[in-house]
Amino acid sequence: MIEPELLANILRKHRKAAGLSQLQLAQLAGIGKTAVFELEKGKETVQLDTLRKVLAVLNIKVILTSQLMKKITDDTES
């Protein structure tokens, strides 16, 4: 499980590497600037959809892994 502080740091570093301000990232993601600020501060109650929008803009891919993942994906494809 990723710690909120680590996720916040990853998002902040990606945003800065992209040359974006918090406001610019918020506009590109279609969310409020406060949501970007909260994500970068490690707030744990941000909505999943908000996080997904920010990850998409920053081109960050999340990969889920577990012992059951192959079975789950195989069942979904059937």
Interval 10-58: pLDDT, tens: 999 999 999 999 999 999 999 999 999 999 999 999 999 999 999 999 9
- Mean per-residue pLDDT for 52-65? 95
Determine the Cα–Cα distance for residues 22 and 10; give it in Å rounded to an integer.
14
What kind and span of H or E run contains 77? helix 69-77
Domains and CATH numbers, the chain: 4-77 (1.10.260.40)
pTM for the whole structure:
0.85
Q: Is the pLDDT of residue 78 over 80?
A: no
**DSSP symbols for 3-50:** -HHHHHHHHHHHHHHTT--HHHHHHHHTS-HHHHHHHHTT-TT--HHH
What pLDDT is recorded for position 72?
84
Q: Match 């279609």 to its residue by tokens.
A: 30
